[in-house]
Amino acid sequence: MDKILKIGHRGASGYEPENTLISFEKAIDLNADGIELDVHLTSDGHLVVIHDETIDRTTNGKGQVHTMTLQELKSFNAGKNQEIPTLIEVFDLVNRRCLINIELKGIGTAKPVNDLINHYILDKKWEINDFLISSFDWDMLQEMALLNPKIRLGVLTEESIEDALSFAKKIKAFSIHPDYQLLSKENVDLMHENDFGVFPWTVNSKESIQKVKSFDVNGIISNFPDKI
């Protein structure tokens, strides 16, 4: 068994405000092998790292991400005086120190994410395997597969491992990212038999981490990467 990758969910969001630069830095400080983050587009076409469609829950502001400019979004406090970061700022912070798992959340994010990744590979000598793209929106994964057949894709599901498995085969995905509560030794073995990596989320308690580890998963996405 290869080592289980430790992936910080929205950074080390058990310790620092989620999807902020200090959260991603904290995950790297805790020796995470990767960070997971979410992207939306601003009204003026910038990729920003935030989970929800609105800024209401994670900042001191209110409103929908896609209706605001980058400058407007940058004026809000995302916790501990952090700004909502751009995806470029996160790439530059990480600087190849760990894997970046980008979850496509906002509509229309597939192409700009692919363009940015290509820029970092061509101009900054990053590798394609520095990135892993995941989404619950399987249409966006399909779009990404067509845009960039070389990029590693992860199929997110909170409902059905069987459906995720059949879709993963269809798009030649790299991995399946299930809600950890869907997992059993049998279905993890089945995903492995079909050559898919298994990266469950969001596994936070010591008990659930131990249970998921016993299934021989490939990585664990957690708010507390140091607990893995």
Q: Is 119 known to be catalytic?
A: no
- Calculate mean pLDDT across residues 160-181: 98
Q: Are 119 and 148 in contact (CB under 8 A)?
A: no
Alpha helices by DSSP H, listed for 95-134, are 110-124
Phi, psi angle pair for 48, to nearest 5°: -115, 150
Catalytic one among 40, 46, 51, 119? 51
pLDDT in tens, 15-54: 999 999 999 999 999 999 999 999 999 999 999 999 999 9
> Which residue in 116, 117, 159, 115 sits closest to 138, CA to CA?
159
Q: Is 51 known to be catalytic?
A: yes
- What are the distances in angstroms from CA 61 to CA 23, 65, 83? 20, 11, 12
pLDDT > 80? residue 62:
yes
> Which residue in 50, 56, 166 sits closest to 106, CA to CA?
50
pLDDT in tens, 107-137: 999 999 999 999 999 999 999 999 999 999 9
Per-residue pLDDT at 42: 98
Please give the Cα distance from 219 to 216 (Å, whole number).
9
DSSP-assigned letter for residue 52: S
- What are the distances in angstroms from CA 130 to CA 33, 82, 107, 161, 166? 11, 25, 23, 26, 26
pLDDT > 90? residue 2:
no
Local structure of 35: helix, strand or coil: strand
Catalytic one among 9, 40, 119, 192? 9
pLDDT band at 139 (very low <50, low <70, confident <90, very high): very high
Report pTM.
0.98
